[in-house]
Chain A
């Protein structure tokens, strides 16, 4: 079983719909992250969380929100999806006060029509 699990793995939705991507981890890591990947743009940080009460905006947080329901769970929401949010989304974890190495989930591919 994967240490970092994302659901759904694939989702097609329509403009204006609310979408939630979920991430859970069994690694016991404190820090969790949401990145989006677009062809030619690499990975860009959307939000990150150091613990349940600590949520931080990343480089491209507009149009997204997050919830850290527990140490092991970190959800990403698109309140009103738009086509340019079509992308591959990755959840990742890391250990506090260490070197920054990230451990990635398998990705959630979102298509907004």
Chain B
């Protein structure tokens, strides 16, 4: 079974600090990778995704992530965070059977708090 590991469960940063959230996955085959964000009281929204091609992918709100196949990693980065980035962040990987994707396996999430 696949698994996704997020290294940081709680992160507290000041505004304008740089952010990097770690994500590693266990599946050794072809993967599709995602970062979702959940703002307080809201549902999950897609930040960015990687399917193939350029391993550096850019998402919404200035976020980016780099897929490093040799390290089974897909870390999320942002050069300068804002107070509005306070949220829960989830890394996820596609699960596959013969008929296509079966859904996503999620990490346990990272709770990010940005202090003004």
> Which A positions have Cβ atoms within 8 angstroms of B?
31, 33, 35, 40-45, 48, 50, 56, 58, 90, 92, 94, 96-102, 104-107
Contacts and interface: CB of A to CB of B under 8 A. Distances in A.
Given A105-B43, A107-B43, A43 B90 contact: yes
A50 B43 contact: no
Interface of B: 9, 32, 34, 42-46, 49, 51, 90, 92, 94-96, 99-109
Secondary structure class of chain B's binding surface, majority of residues: strand
12 contacts: A40-B9, A42-B107, A42-B108, A43-B106, A48-B102, A58-B103, A94-B103, A97-B101, A98-B100, A100-B101, A102-B103, A104-B45
A106 B42 contact: yes
Given A94-B101, A104-B44, A99 B108 contact: no
B46 A101 contact: yes
Nearest to A4: B43
A101 B34 contact: yes
A98 B109 contact: no
Contacts of A41: 108
Contact of B44 (A40, A90, A96, A99): A90
A95 B85 CA distance: 29
B43 A100 contact: no
